[in-house]
Structure 1
Amino acid sequence: MSAASGAPRMSWARAREAAFGAADPRPATRVALRDAVGRVLAEPVLALCDVPHYASSAMDGWAVRGPGPWVLRGAARDASALEPNEAREIVTGGLIPSGAEAVLRSEVGEVAADGGDAGAPVLRSTVTPWAGQHIRPRGEEFARGEVGIEAGVRLNPAHIAVAAACGVDDVEVLARGRVSLVFTGDEVVTHGIPAPGTVRDSFGPQLPAFVELLGGEVAAQARIGDDHDALVGALLAGASTSDVVITTGGTGDSSADHLRGALERLGAGILIDGVAMRPGGPSLLARLDDGRLLIGLPGNPLAAMMGLLTLAAPALAALGGRGMPELSRIRLGAPMAAGRGETRLVPFRLVDGRAQPSGFTGSAMLRGLADASGVLLCADGGAEVGDEVEFVPLPWV
């Protein structure tokens, strides 16, 4: 039941769809290459030049023309053309002189001090180089105008190097939903071992990283006590710099829970007032008067993480112009007990190719999630060994 209205909570599947449908995609944006790792390309990267953009040596040695022996001419950086049976010293990556047919490795050549034309040194080798040997041709990887990286790719450091080689300075990437985080609670301590009656903050160190893994961008963070006016002020902040506000705690109806009162005072509309899931049932989704979404997470750590996967993951995917996060299926290696009319979300480990449900599933427990392979979705009727069930993939697995 909803904590505020007594109405039935929304089903897990419907809540997820509703969260996805509540967010509109933000426009794509351009970012510098140094900021692009982990971002998803909105447009393909095209080679602005041939890659490589000049023919170069793959070895230290000599650029040669003809079968040899060769008269050494010019310095290593000399740009003049080679004539037949001439050679020039060259280093790896060096520009191949016009007329050169191959590169002779330094290990297989020997230079005589004289004996050439006008006393010039002569290069001899027992190896006859073949045409193109140890030469990296111009355009060997990409021709100018060719697609270097396809749209839709999540960029890794190697992609950044490819884009740079293609002459690109910045790339068009899908947007990220901008998130303001509001941590609440008088009993929360941020350092050391908490005294009885207080709890160590588990949200501050991990929630920003979790949001980033879900495709969001943390724009602001605030920490307040259990105070109505302070919460209203925190929700009003950042209206122009965030798309979503995520709060922790305060989703119940006790005297210390102020979220619903703050939403009413701000004229917000509650879209999801609780989800029929365990843990995380008190999670809610609202629309603030300024158009931003608000996702209210319960104060217990595992419950909050399940709320994040259920509501925030779809909303952030929609804001980023991506599709609904997909579910997967796996067979159970152990039975799951029947529920109480809601979807049970149970972290599991992969053991011998099957899902082994965690025994640490209390709302305040994070041990099971910390080493989980994913989160099982168990319907009200439970499931038996060998049954195939859906699961939510974790963004860090």
Structure 2
Amino acid sequence: MTVRPTVTEAVDWAAARRIAAAAAPRPAAERVGLADALGRTLAAPLVTALDLPHYASSAMDGWAVRGPAPWRLIGPAGAPGAGEPGLGIGIGEAQRIVTGGVVPRGADAVLRAEAGRVDRGTLEPVGEVGLRDVREGRHIRLGGSEARAGDRLLEAGTPLTPPRIALAAATGADVIEVVRRPRVAVVLTGDEVVESGVPGPGRVRDSFRVALPAALRALGAEVVGVARVPDDAAATRAAMTSADADLVVSTGGTGRSDADHVRAALADLGADLLVPSVAIRPGGPTLLARIADRLVLGLPGNPLAAMLGLLAVGGPLLHAWSGAGPADAAAGQVRAGTALDGGSGVTALVPAVLGPDGSAVPTGYHGAGMLRGLAGAEVVLVVPPDGVGAGDAVTTLRLPWAG
């Protein structure tokens, strides 16, 4: 089906998000080194190849002991202790050991260094701490106490944090299978835009070249290029297909005037218009289309409208594409700190802050061309067309750059 530029139907908020999530291709996998895995999503379960710990180890510097005190110290003076599995000690014997050292076979406990005293080759516990170390069999980390070989430690779809990467390393992994990030080309339109300095009358400063790629990365994309094109139909059409990308994200030109070329370019390319526009404010002209080998997410030219359109439609698209789960997994709920008006038949997206009691209050400065309200926001409130009352629950969107 080709685009019909005269299509005016706006898709409601929930339907647009479902369509966007369903449009995402099945997540593909790639293998990366652990040093490059932070923030990536597991494509397959993490299964440990060995017991964790894979040997009985000491949790303290001190002595491995067997039987009641006193103990005869064996091994060279100052030796780190049983360094090879299978070596043992007899009743009444002790061997020096360091944290992480292999506990000798037969040991009952590890007596910590500060709770023992050696006199002429004989070790005795000191004080109640030393007696309890021995009596309670302390400071031995038993092999397999955390996991057994073959256990699934993390499931596919889990985002990789520093502790999870450390866990993968503990299993002996050097590389890990993660979801490949969608490659995104950013296309910025507009003859009136200047990219540096203070703009003059009739000109505006570029708000997107740095901010939009950063937002896309926060949503899990790999940005492969940023291009600016003039308000020209041929240039716009060429930019949609020239980059080696899975997804093209454009800004501006999604209106229906003679100066807006994104819809006409998509029509010329035989696109399937999945979401012609969205019943939200701001951000209504946001569209989602499919051409031969990629998707196109068209965002409005106004800064706030574009960023909220990205969250509204690009959020569930990239969330599903990353294998991270349901489209609305990043949505939550808070209590409205004040009454919020609806959007006259559309869903209102309202940047907000959270008060000391956890309720949400709009930030102000919500015009489609304004960024001040979003810059100070902690969440975006999703206000249905009929509004919400003070104290009522309201859906929120997490800001991906807020952590």
- CA deviation profile, 1:281-333 (whole Å, cap 9, x unmatched): 22122221x23110111111110012112221222233234322254444433
Inter-CA distance 8–137: structure 2 relative to 1 (3 Å threshold): closer
Judged with a 3 Å threshold, the aligned counterparts in structure 2 of structure 1 residues 131 and 356 are, in CA distance, closer, same or farther, namely closer
Question: Percent of counterpart pairs with the same letter?
Answer: 48
How big is the shift at 1:139?
1.7
User: Would you say the 8 A contact 1:62–1:90 is kept in 2?
Assistant: yes
| Alignment CA distance shift 1:133-1:183 (3 Å) | same
Please point out which of 137, 144, 148 is paired with 1:143. Answer: 148
Question: What's the counterpart of residue 342 of structure 1?
Answer: 346
Q: Cα 1:125–1:197, aligned 2, differ >3 Å: closer, same or farther?
A: same
Preserved CA contact (<8 Å) 1:3 1:274 = no
Query: 1:175 Cα shift?
Result: 4.2
Moved more, 40-49 or 327-336: 327-336
Residues 169-184 of structure 1: matches in 2 within 5 Å? 169-184=174-189
What's the CA shift for 1:205? 1.9
**Cα distance in structure 2, aligned partners of 1:306 and 1:206:** 13
Aligned residue in 2 for 1:48: 49
Task: State how far apart, in whole Å, the 2-side matches of 1:318 and 1:98 are.
Answer: 51
* Residues 40 and 154, structure 1, Cα contact 8 Å, conserved in 2: yes
1:221 aligns with: 226
Aligned length: 386
Structure 1 stretch displaced more, 340-349 or 192-201: 192-201
* Distance verdict in 2 for CA 1:130–1:347, change over 3 Å: same
Q: Is the 8 A contact 1:70 1:124 kept in 2?
A: no
Partner residue of 1:259 out of 255, 259, 262: 262
Q: For 1:6 and 1:382, how far apart are their aligned partners in 2? A: 28
Aligned-partner residue type, residue 399 of structure 2:
L
Quickly say closer, same or farther: Cα 1:390–1:51, change in 2 above 3 A: closer
Whole-angstrom CA distance in 1 between matches of 2:123 and 2:393: 72
Helix, strand or coil for the counterpart of 1:218?
Answer: strand
**TM (normalized to structure 1)?**
0.86
Partner of 1:367: 372
CA apart distance, 1:254: 4.4
The alpha carbon displacement at 1:135 in A equals: 1.9
Gaps of 5+ in 1: 115-120
- 1:358 is matched with which residue? 363
Partner of 1:283: 286
Change beyond 3 A, Cα 1:390–1:195:
same
Match of 1:203 among 194, 200, 208: 208
Per the alignment, residue 36 of structure 2 pairs with 35
CA RMSD of aligned residues (A): 2.8
Matched, 1:111 2:113: no
Name the residue aligned to 1:273.
Answer: 276
Task: Give the residue type in structure 1 aligned to 2:194.
Answer: V
* Aligned counterparts, 1:63-74, within 5 A: 63-66=64-67, 67-74=69-76
Deviations, residues 111-145 of structure 1 (Å, cap 9, x unaligned): 33x4xxxxxx3334444523733222222211222
CA contact (8 A) 2:75 2:81 kept: no
Q: Name the structure 1 match of 2:17.
A: 16
CA pair 382-143 structure 1, distance change in 2 beyond 3 A: closer
1:162 and 2:167 equivalent? Answer: yes
Give the structure 1 partner of residue 319 of structure 2. Answer: 317
Please list the CA deviations of residues 252-284 of structure 1 after superposition, one character each: whole Å capped at 9, or x if unmatched: 244543222322332323333322322112212
Equivalent-residue separation in structure 2 for 1:131 and 1:381 (angstroms): 65
Provide the rounded CA distance (Å) in 2 between the counterparts of 1:12 and 1:370: 23
Secondary structure in structure 1 of the residue aligned to 2:279: strand
SS at match of 2:17: helix
Q: Which residue of 2 aligns with 1:60?
A: 61
Q: Are 1:275 and 1:282, in contact at CA under 8 Å, matched by a contact in 2?
A: yes
How does 1:372-383 map onto structure 2 within 5 Å? 372-383=377-388
Residue type of the alignment partner of 1:106: A
**Equivalent residue in structure 2 for 1:292, among 276, 285, 294:** 294
> 1:84, 1:382 → 2: CA distance?
77
8 Å contact kept, 1:3–1:253: no
Cα distance change of structure 1 residues 311 and 101 upon mapping to structure 2, 3 Å threshold: same
1:204 aligned counterpart, secondary structure: coil
Query: 2-side partners of 1:349 and 1:283: how far apart?
Result: 25
Q: 1:83 matched to which residue of 2?
A: 90
Give the gaps of 5 or more residues in structure 2: none
CA–CA distance in structure 1, aligned partners of residues 113 and 365 of structure 2: 64
Contact 1:62 1:87 in 2 (8 A): yes
TM-score with structure 2 setting the length: 0.85
1:12/1:275 contact within 8 Å kept: yes
Q: Could you tell me whether the CA contact under 8 Å between 2:190 and 2:252 is conserved in 1?
A: yes
Q: Deviations over 1:162-208 (max 9, x none)?
A: 11112223333344333221122333333444344332322222222
Aligned to 2:309: 307
Deviates further, 358-367 or 348-357: 348-357
Comparing 53-62 with 196-205, greater Cα deviation is found at 196-205
Report deviation, 1:247: 0.5
CA-CA distance at 1:92 after TM superposition: 1.5
Deviation at 1:367, TM superposition (A): 1.8
Letter of the structure 2 residue corresponding to residue 312 of structure 1: G
Structure 2 distance, partners of 1:105, 1:15, is 62
Question: Contact 1:69–1:125 (CA<8 Å) still a contact in 2?
Answer: no
> 1:198-230 CA deviation, whole Å, 9 max, x = no partner?
323222222222223323332333233334333
